[in-house]
Amino acid sequence: MTNLVLTVSKSGPSVDPTWLDAISILTQAQGQKLLSTGATRLQEVSDTPSIRQEVDRQCDERHIDYAFVADDFKLSDFKLVAMDMDSTFITIECIDEIADMFGLKAEVSAITEATMRGEIKDFSESLQRRVALLKGLDASALQRVYDERLQLSPGATPMLAAARQAGLKTLLVSGGFTFFTDRLRERCNLDFTHANTLEIVDGKLTGRVVGDIVDAQGKADTLQRVCDWMGITTSQTIVLGDGANDLKMMALTGMSVAYHAKPVVRAQTTHVINFGGLDVLLDWFEV
């Protein structure tokens, strides 16, 4: 049996009961259940492509997140939650904010956006181009970005807490930089992290990355490596991301979540969060 979970953004209006009844009729729901978070679970709904298309249209108009889920869907069915960092686990793109310290944010951001939309196919080339623009910047700018601009995405803390309580390990895998993933690992008690290392000489960025670049394939390889170490399959993982370079690791997973993502990502994932925080996904699981 399939259920439909409807979650209103905490900053948005409550669900109109009349509209909720209309969606119940559309999906031929056999019941409604209000969740403790304020989300609503429509029980035993019909799940067809045409119904999904209409639910998507109406929820998008009302800024409501939704998910079709099995009625026995449990968070503890999974063993690992893997997250992209920039614009997923945190609210910023770190390289763009570093560039801002150099007066180059617009130039770097344009490359970042084109890459995340999938318009620049070679992530390694894209990253090298952006990092090269940072040559000569004082490395203290990294700490300033972390201290002054880096914030966890809404819902990150309760999502992590629920995952840990359900027995899941956590992986932060990023095409960004170890300067930030290392600090987030300690701050958020993450189990695994993997990212790129910026080369620093005499306190200055050299405009180069040390070692192999963590691109889309690197992310997928990292997910596989952690799963192998844990003795689990990639189908036992949840992956959250927002950009095209997340798609390869998302293709391996049992549950892929596009978080405030580019259209190319939303079209290829099993679940989508467009409006709420990372903790929206907790509404999808039976307690």
Kindly report the CATH number assigned to the domain that includes residue 264. 3.40.50.1000
Express each pLDDT in 5-52 by its tens digit: 999 877 666 778 899 999 999 999 999 998 878 899 999 999 999 999
**Residue carrying structure tokens 């439909």:** 4
Residues forming the active site = 84, 86
Q: Compute the distance between CA of residue 145 and CA of residue 139 in angstroms, rounded to an integer.
A: 11
Neighbour-count burial for 28-39, b at 16+ CB within 10 Å, e otherwise: ebeebeeeebeb
Considering the domain boundaries, does residue 287 fall inside one?
no
Token couple for 274 = 């467009």
Neighbour-count burial for 143-175, b at 16+ CB within 10 Å, e otherwise: eebbeebbebbbbbeebbebbeebebbbbbbbb
175 and 82 housed in the same domain: yes
Q: Compute the distance between CA of residue 239 and CA of residue 268 in angstroms, rounded to an integer.
A: 12
Token couple for 158 = 């309760």
82 and 224 housed in the same domain: yes
pTM (2 d.p.): 0.92
43 and 137 housed in the same domain: no
53 and 114 housed in the same domain: no
66 and 83 housed in the same domain: no
Considering the domain boundaries, does residue 44 fall inside one?
yes
15 and 84 housed in the same domain: no
Express each pLDDT in 86-106 by its tens digit: 999 999 999 899 988 888 888
Kindly report the CATH number assigned to the domain that includes residue 21. 3.30.70
Instruction: Give bridge partners of residue 198 from the DSSP assignment.
Output: 209
Reference 104, options 129, 71, 69; nearest CA is: 129
Considering the domain boundaries, does residue 126 fall inside one?
yes
Domain count, the chain: 2
What DSSP state is assigned to residue 221? H
Write out the residue range of the structural domain in which residue 58 sits.
Answer: 2-72
